[in-house]
Amino acid sequence: MRNTRHPAYDLTTLWRLDAPIDAVWDAIYHAEAWPLWWKGVERVDTLDHGNADGLGARQRYTWKSVLPYRLSFVGRVTRIEPLRLLEGQVEGELEGVGRWHFGQDGGLTTVRYDWQVRTTLPWMNLIAPLAKPVFRWNHHAIMRAGGIGLARHLGARLKPPPRRSP
């Protein structure tokens, strides 16, 4: 995945919700509904439904970032382990892999999203040596909005991540 012309990003988000894992799974699994509760997701268009479980499903995502630009890419579901893992590959203005990991911890549902992508837009790649920290900040702001929106959507509370010991 490493390519000097296409800067790479390895990003992780952790959400902890006081909601049942099946409700959290369902909300994330049904990405076409994300625009209803996730600020920043403008559109999710289903291109292919995949098999009966959704494996192979393809969707076009259009995101409006906190910064003044939009990104669009197509995601394809490559792995499904119900209530545990949802994985997809993306191509377009971003290329790479995203993995949703689900678990339960002390009565909370935990969701960890690992996003390993490269940018393909020439303007982003040109300014990446200086703007990479801003792009990372932007990603984290959008993901914070997703956690807040998901909690609101489920009538749950979003808990802060556990504190790390020194």
Q: Which two tokens stand for residue 51?
A: 């098999």
What pLDDT does 3 receive?
Answer: 45
Order across the sheet with 41-48: list the strands: 41-48, 58-64, 70-81, 85-92, 94-105, 108-119, 8-17, 158-159
Say which residues have a Cβ less than 8 Å from residue 140's Cβ, sequence separation at least 6. 11, 13
Handedness of CA 23, 109, 34, 84 (dihedral sign): negative
Q: What is the pLDDT of residue 166?
A: 61
CA distances from 123 to 13, 69, 93, 126 (A): 26, 11, 11, 5
Q: Going residue by residue through the chain (166 aa), what tens digit of pLDDT does each one get?
A: 444 467 899 999 999 999 999 999 999 999 999 999 999 999 999 999 999 999 999 999 999 989 999 999 999 999 999 999 999 999 999 999 999 999 998 889 999 999 999 999 999 999 999 999 999 999 999 999 999 999 999 999 999 877 775 6
What pTM was computed for the model?
Answer: 0.91
Which listed CATH number (3.90.550.10, 3.40.630.30, 3.30.530.20, 3.40.50.150) goes with 13-159? 3.30.530.20
Closest CA to 35 of 67, 68, 59: 59
CB 72 within 8 A of CB 60: yes
Position 2 scores a pLDDT of: 44
Domain limits, the chain: 13-159
